[in-house]
Amino acid sequence: MAAKVEIYTWSTCPFCIRAKALLKKKGVDFVEYSIDGDEDARDKMSERANGKRSLPQIFIDDVHIGGCDDIHALDAQGKLDNLLAS
């Protein structure tokens, strides 16, 4: 069974685009929350992300993974595929 992947984004954010491209390259279905200008949505994201307000913020099976650099680091370490397959 594939993991549930959620990503909070801003439509023009280059880091968001890069993170989504990695997930798409891996063939991962994900739920995207585009929060452009929506401070209420950003506050809710921040609550889930331990106070982080930068974008993107990524969750795999409701576990906060972090942002773009974090997901790429997990991939480089060979740990991402296991998380996505959980």
List the CATH code of the domain at 29-65: 3.40.30.10
Q: CB–CB of 7/19 below 8 Å?
A: yes
The pLDDT > 70 percentage for the chain reads: 99
Structure tokens at 23: 């997930």
pLDDT in tens, 66-86: 999 999 999 999 999 999 997
pLDDT in tens, 31-47: 999 999 999 999 999 99
